């Protein structure tokens, strides 16, 4: 059983289905791994009692299989509700709040047989790509405990890298699952917006920026989890019809066309070694028969950023304004949240309209771009994992960052218009730290980026070749 947790989630599922492995045995191995690793990285929070976890596994062993996740331990990102577990969102405002029901995609995972054993750590309200908060503390990078694991899905990425979990959920507004995947040497997919429905609460029309998504140690695992999480919700106005995103993942990619955007013509400052590491990784696609071409910026980065700033302020303020209005809860909000809210509250309706028009303009330009390319590529991050005690990077190569999240700008082109984007590992820098690059597809082309990602994965196997050192 020593190498059991090196298997990917689909392999474990097959072993469980064939009775080569029991859910109790898998849970015992998982709990032992959590005992060994979690005190070091602080990725899993609000965990259930081990005896309760083993009882769940025993029940699964004696039950009819519910789906491919049957008997597999999972922990849910602490921005989502899992019935009976605390949903703190990393905020003292909600510390101790126990969920009375599952969120929609969590219910779908549970219905497929997942055994929910805890939550994964996040930044406060998911703001900022650095997982620390006053409720559960900081999640550190498995490859260097003095460095950040990224965020907001930093707990999920660190748990995957350390084999505490075989599969995980994440969410992504501004790179929240892509950035930690890159920094923890795993995979993360931001799916086409609407493929995984959000919660049917409050306004369902005006704020299509964030989405939930799957994370794993292979694109095949990610595709399988996406098929569980995805599917239109009849009480929501938008959504993408469910289809088989796993089809043809192992087919050759010869002749597929990839556009390499690098640093968007110099618009995105990058720390040394990042563009070079991604450029070297693209040779894998050439070796597999794909065509890789340098691509000039298809749209002004400044327009994308201007649109993003306004629409993000608008969305965050709409969500958190009730907490801001109350003096007691406002005092418990971190400065980044207050900054987002106050900027959002100051917007006029016409400012939001102009930002949405810019977003529409970028979508049209991107559609033309994807007439020539099956996918385009950008680095997943502009900086290497930074010291865990820092709040956020303030400069890149001497260039000041004018907001707390400007250093994450490279993820915005996909986020703004809801494109599918898969972060794949590209190896390690001379500093020994991981990095990734984004494979970005046309709207609703999730299968295409997963297909490219799976071919790349089979040729590289970065998560399997370079796991973090055992504590």
Q: At a CB cut-off of 8 Å and minimum separation 6, what does 291 contact? A: 255, 256, 257, 258
**Of 46, 25, 220, nearest in space to 119 by CA:** 46
| Residue 6 main-chain phi, psi, to 5 deg | -80, -15
User: What is the token pair recorded at 175?
Assistant: 């790179």
Catalytic residue chosen out of the listed positions 77, 119, 319, 334:
77
* 152 catalytic residue (yes or no): yes
* 77 catalytic residue (yes or no): yes
Catalytic residue chosen out of the listed positions 13, 88, 148, 152:
152
Burial 190-210 (b: 16+ CB within 10 A, else e): bbbbbbbbbeeeeebeebbbb
**Of 88, 113, 87, nearest in space to 100 by CA:** 87
Alpha carbon of 130 to those of 27, 191, 442: distances in Å? 29, 21, 28
Phi-psi region of 163 (alpha: psi -120 to 50; beta: other; left: phi over 0): left
Catalytic residue chosen out of the listed positions 129, 148, 176, 307:
176
CA dist., res. 430 & res. 428, Å (int): 7
Catalogue the active-site residues: 77, 152, 176
């Amino acid at each position: 059983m020593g190498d059991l947790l090196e298997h990917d989630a689909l392999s474990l599922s097959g072993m469980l289905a064939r009775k080569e492995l029991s859910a109790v045995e898998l849970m015992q191995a998982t709990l032992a791994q959590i005992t060994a690793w979690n005190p070091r990285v602080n990725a899993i929070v609000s965990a259930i009692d081990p005896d309760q976890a083993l009882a769940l596994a025993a029940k699964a062993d004696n039950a009819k299989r519910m789906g491919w996740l049957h008997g597999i331990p999972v922990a849910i990102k602490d921005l989502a509700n899992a019935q009976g577990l605390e949903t703190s969102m990393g905020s003292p405002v909600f510390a101790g709040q126990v969920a009375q029901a599952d969120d929609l995609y969590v219910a779908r995972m549970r219905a497929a047989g997942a055994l929910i054993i805890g939550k994964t750590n996040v930044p406060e309200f998911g703001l900022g790509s650095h997982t620390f908060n006053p409720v559960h503390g900081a999640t550190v990078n498995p490859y260097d405990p003095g460095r950040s694991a990224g965020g907001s899905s930093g707990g999920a990425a660190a748990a995957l890298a350390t084999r505490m979990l075989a599969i995980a959920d994440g969410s992504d507004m501004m790179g929240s699952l892509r950035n930690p995947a890159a920094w923890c040497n795993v995979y993360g997919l931001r799916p086409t917006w609407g493929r995984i429905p959000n919660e049917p609460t409050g306004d369902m029309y005006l704020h299509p920026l964030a989405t939930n998504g799957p994370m794993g140690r292979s694109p095949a695992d990610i595709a399988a989890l996406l098929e569980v999480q995805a599917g239109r919700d009849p009480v929501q106005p938008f959504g993408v019809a469910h289809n088989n995103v796993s089809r043809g993942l192992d087919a050759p990619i010869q002749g597929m066309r990839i556009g390499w955007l690098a640093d968007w013509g110099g618009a995105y400052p990058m720390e040394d070694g990042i563009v070079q590491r991604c450029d070297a990784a693209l040779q894998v696609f050439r070796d597999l028969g794909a065509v890789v071409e340098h691509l000039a910026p298809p749209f002004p980065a400044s327009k994308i950023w201007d649109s993003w700033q306004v629409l993000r302020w608008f969305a965050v303020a709409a969500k958190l304004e009730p907490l801001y209005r109350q003096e007691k809860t406002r005092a418990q909000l971190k400065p980044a949240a207050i900054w987002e809210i106050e900027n959002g509250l100051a917007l006029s309706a016409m400012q939001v309209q102009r930002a949405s028009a810019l977003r529409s303009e970028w979508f049209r330009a991107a559609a033309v771009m994807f007439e020539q390319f099956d996918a385009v590529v950008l680095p997943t991050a502009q900086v290497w994992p930074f010291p865990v005690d820092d709040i956020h990077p303030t400069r890149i190569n001497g260039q000041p960052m004018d907001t707390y999240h400007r250093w994450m700008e490279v993820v915005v082109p996909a986020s703004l218009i809801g494109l599918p984007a898969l972060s794949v590992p590209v190896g390690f820098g001379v500093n020994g730290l991981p990095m990734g690059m984004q494979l970005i597809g046309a709207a609703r082309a999730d299968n295409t980026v997963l297909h490219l990602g799976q071919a790349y994965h089979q040729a590289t196997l970065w998560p399997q070749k370079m796991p973090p050192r055992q504590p």
